[in-house]
Chains A and B, each alone.
Chain A
């Protein structure tokens, strides 16, 4: 199960598992983002390369207009995946405590 909900401060809260069967749904939602946006990963358990592709496509689109995604409350497992992918160089990332 994967979901994105709008939080009280305008952030998007991602939850569940962002795998290949859910990446279309994630892309559809992130395609509606038109300016800099915070994505809260506190309830996100898993992301595969299909989910990373969604993040990268969205980031490229936003950065071309001077905006970008900020990923917050990122767990250690997901941070490792982002770092191995070089995403720590192209996203603003804050790890969870």
Chain B
């Protein structure tokens, strides 16, 4: 399934509806819903906040192949931002040293098997994969 969304946080409601439609159509077990909602929200909001130069719609693609779930988000006419190179979050630091930054990507690394990044002709694409047989 593929859908385009206006590059704005107000699109989040439609993004979550799209995920719900995908789960119904592909009969994906509801236990995976939290991870997929989190993935599309974290990546979508990062594109909205950190790549504001591109004004085209963001494309989200969700696919299930055998027992592998694949999520792709594509942002157009933007500078490169490679989330696979983002630094690890120091989750064991004392609270006075903790900052909220980077937690979204940190969680996606925990919840998904792979995260890939492509940047071609100012098109930025992030691909997450998850084996659905492992909960």
Q: Which residues of A contact B (CB under 8 A)?
A: 17, 19-21, 46, 48-50, 52-53, 56-57, 59-60, 63-64, 77, 81, 84-86, 89-90
Contact = CB atoms under 8 A, between A and B. Distances in A.
A5 to B, nearest CB: 22
Interface residues of B, number: 26
A20 B45 contact: yes
Contacts of A20: 9, 12, 41, 45
A85 B38 CA distance: 14
B1 interface: no
Interface of B: 9-10, 12-13, 16, 34, 37-38, 41-42, 45, 89, 91-93, 95-96, 98-100, 103-104, 106-107, 110-111
Given A49-B42, A56-B100, 15 more contacts: A17-B16, A20-B45, A21-B12, A48-B37, A48-B38, A48-B41, A53-B103, A57-B100, A60-B96, A81-B107, A85-B106, A86-B89, A86-B92, A89-B92, A90-B95
